[in-house]
Chain A
Amino acid sequence: MEGFETLLSALLTLGLVAVAVALSLYQRLDLEKDIGVAVVRSFVQLAAIGYAINYIFALESLPAVVLLLAGMVGFAAWTSARRARGMPRALPVAAGAIGVAAVATLGALLLLQVVPPTAQYLIPLGGMVIGNSMNTASLTLARVRDDVAEQRLKVEAALALGATSRQAVSPILKTALRSAMIPLIDSTKTTGIIFLPGAMVGMIIAGADPLEAARLQIVVMYMLLGSVSIAAILVGLLSYRSLFTPRHQLRPDPREG
């Protein structure tokens, strides 16, 4: 268990977490419990994934990599769907969107031979793609759900004027997609000026050539832009359907009794 000591030394940074807890207590933000859960979960999850990746690296088996990525997609979809409570069929929508985004972007990287088909590349890159797609899927689902609930009258007014469900909901989809994608577009614009992205930081600390780190970071950024757009658009196109009947009728708000 030599690796475990490495992990334990990370616990020394818990002192920084104490600052957050102290702030929460001082300002009565009521976040201590959440911070505690986050600290414990992140430690357990990262340690577990560290061991799992170690194990998969040792296996040198591509099917094992695919299986791990599929598990990540499933967990991400479940998390997204939980955020979108009240949205019918949120789980299959999120799973489809995140899955397609991951397959499309990782597939493109492999086909173009930007990265080799090894666990060392596919697992961390896949994790980033799936994580970012998950955030986008959650934001888009929640936004579509809230905006349709808030603007029921407008949606019905459009339907009453002979609009299809798609036409009636299109202004809402547009704002939902925009607000889900803008954070990543903005961070892509400012990357390297305001902050150095995590992957690049990690590589430089680990002793890699900064130019090589920059090359990989560019790949990561473009990959994320692509996957997040795919996830957002798919969630948008798939999610609104479950709010309408095939006869272009807005279903009643599922959150109302």
Chain B
Amino acid sequence: MGLEVRILGLRYAAGGAEILKGVNAVVPEGGITCVVGPSGAGKSTLLRAVNRLIEPTAGEVYLDGSPTSEMDPLVLRRRVGMVFQLPALFGTSVEDAVLYGARLAEKDVDAGRLLEMAGLDPLFGKRDPQTLSVGQQQRVSIARALALEPEVLLMDEPTSALDEAARRRIEDLIRELNACLELTIVLVSHALDQVERVADRVVLLAAGRSEGEWSKEEFFSGEGGERARQFISGRL
């Protein structure tokens, strides 16, 4: 399932600052699209607008051609999963944490299989989530999102709280899930080396506006235009 973003404006409160001013982007089905940009560009806000954790003030996001504003937000969020910067797990066991959303949706899933998909031993299911490392907890939160069999997975800087080794392993997992499940992934990242390793496509955001979208090769080759070059060289 592909996404098409046409957000004209988004502010948190009436009269407040406009966080997104104009974002046009296409997320092709089955690919990994990285959203990059300086901090404060509105990257996390953009992700939250896609699964309607925040309502855009003007504009629309289309999932597989249908406007998401007309969908039941609960149904939309089951189709478009999300992984946050920090794991935020619920429940007293890893298994409870993994099954949280699936239970709400009355969906019968195998927690052990999901943990395996996220690269964890199914035996982890009985453990208290708080006893796991942050990297392992982040895998649990990925398993929890996969439990709903989403068509698109939004990931908001999922490795920013992890050390280098854990970061690399999550990056491998992201590529693996994309390849094996043909899962469409939108990854917000502030690390260019990560984008280079993981992305198929790159969307650049600055001060609430999209500055362009490119294939990864185009973006990093320097042929992506002035704004892309400015961002890569840290001048944006």
Interface residues of A (CB under 8 A from B): 153-154, 156-164, 167, 171, 245, 247-250, 252
Query: In the complex, are the beta carbons of A160 and B55 less than 8 A apart?
Result: no
Query: In the complex, are the beta carbons of A161 and B55 less than 8 A apart?
Result: no
Query: In the complex, are the beta carbons of A163 and B101 less than 8 A apart?
Result: yes
Query: In the complex, are the beta carbons of B101 and A162 less than 8 A apart?
Result: yes
Query: In the complex, are the beta carbons of B144 and A161 less than 8 A apart?
Result: yes
Q: A161-B148, A249-B54 are in contact. List 11 more A-B contacts (CB 8 A).
A: A153-B86, A156-B84, A157-B88, A158-B100, A160-B81, A161-B78, A161-B145, A162-B101, A162-B105, A247-B52, A252-B13
Residues of B with C-beta under 8 A to A250: 53
Residues of A with C-beta under 8 A to B48: 156
Number of interface residues of B (CB under 8 A): 27
Cα separation A163 to B101 with both chains bound (whole Å): 7
- Whose C-beta in chain B lies nearest to the C-beta of A163? B104
Q: Report if B73 contacts A (CB, 8 A).
A: yes
The 5 closest A-B CB pairs, nearest first, are A161-B101, A157-B88, A160-B82, A252-B12, A162-B78
Known A-B contacts A161-B100, A161-B104, A161-B145; the reply to A248 vs B88 at CB < 8 A is: no
Q: Report if B74 contacts A (CB, 8 A).
A: yes
Min CB distance, B10 to chain A, in Å? 12
Q: Which of A154, A156, A162, A245 contacts B90 (CB 8 A)?
A: A154
- Whose C-beta in chain B lies nearest to the C-beta of A250? B53
- Whose C-beta in chain A lies nearest to the C-beta of B82? A160
Cα separation A156 to B73 with both chains bound (whole Å): 13
Q: Report if B77 contacts A (CB, 8 A).
A: yes
Query: In the complex, are the beta carbons of A247 and B105 less than 8 A apart?
Result: no
Residues of B with C-beta under 8 A to A252: 12-13
Q: What string of 1s and 0s marks CB contacts (under 8 Å) between B121-151 and chain A?
A: 0000000000000000000010011001000
- Whose C-beta in chain A lies nearest to the C-beta of B77? A162
Known A-B contacts A167-B104, A249-B53; the reply to A159 vs B77 at CB < 8 A is: yes
- Whose C-beta in chain B lies nearest to the C-beta of A164? B74
Residues of B with C-beta under 8 A to A159: 53, 77
Interchain residue pairs with CB less than 8 A apart (14): A156-B88, A157-B82, A161-B145, A161-B148, A162-B74, A162-B77, A163-B74, A163-B104, A245-B55, A248-B74, A249-B52, A249-B54, A249-B55, A252-B13
Residues of A with C-beta under 8 A to B77: 159-162
- Whose C-beta in chain B lies nearest to the C-beta of A155? B88
Residues of A with C-beta under 8 A to B82: 157, 160
Q: Report if B51 contacts A (CB, 8 A).
A: yes
Q: Which of B64-84 contact A (CB under 8 A)?
A: 73-75, 77-78, 81-82, 84
Residues of A with C-beta under 8 A to B145: 161
Cα separation A153 to B144 with both chains bound (whole Å): 15
Residues of B with C-beta under 8 A to A171: 90
Cα separation A162 to B48 with both chains bound (whole Å): 13
Residues of B with C-beta under 8 A to A163: 74, 100-101, 104
Query: In the complex, are the beta carbons of B55 and A247 less than 8 A apart?
Result: yes
Min CB distance, A16 to chain B, in Å? 49
Cα separation A158 to B52 with both chains bound (whole Å): 13
Min CB distance, A149 to chain B, in Å? 15
Cα separation A256 to B86 with both chains bound (whole Å): 21
Cα separation A164 to B53 with both chains bound (whole Å): 12
Cα separation A164 to B74 with both chains bound (whole Å): 7
Q: Which of A162, A250, A252 has its CB near the most chain B CB atoms (within 10 A)? A: A162
- Whose C-beta in chain A lies nearest to the C-beta of B88? A157
Cα separation A156 to B90 with both chains bound (whole Å): 12
Q: Which of B13, B54, B90, B148 contacts A158 (CB 8 A)?
A: B90
Min CB distance, A154 to chain B, in Å? 5
Residues of A with C-beta under 8 A to B55: 245, 247, 249
Q: Which of A154, A160, A164, A245 has its CB near the most chain B CB atoms (within 10 A)? A: A160
Min CB distance, A163 to chain B, in Å? 6
Cα separation A176 to B213 with both chains bound (whole Å): 47
Cα separation A111 to B101 with both chains bound (whole Å): 46
Min CB distance, A221 to chain B, in Å? 35
Min CB distance, B28 to chain A, in Å? 23
Cα separation A159 to B81 with both chains bound (whole Å): 10
- Whose C-beta in chain A lies nearest to the C-beta of B74? A162
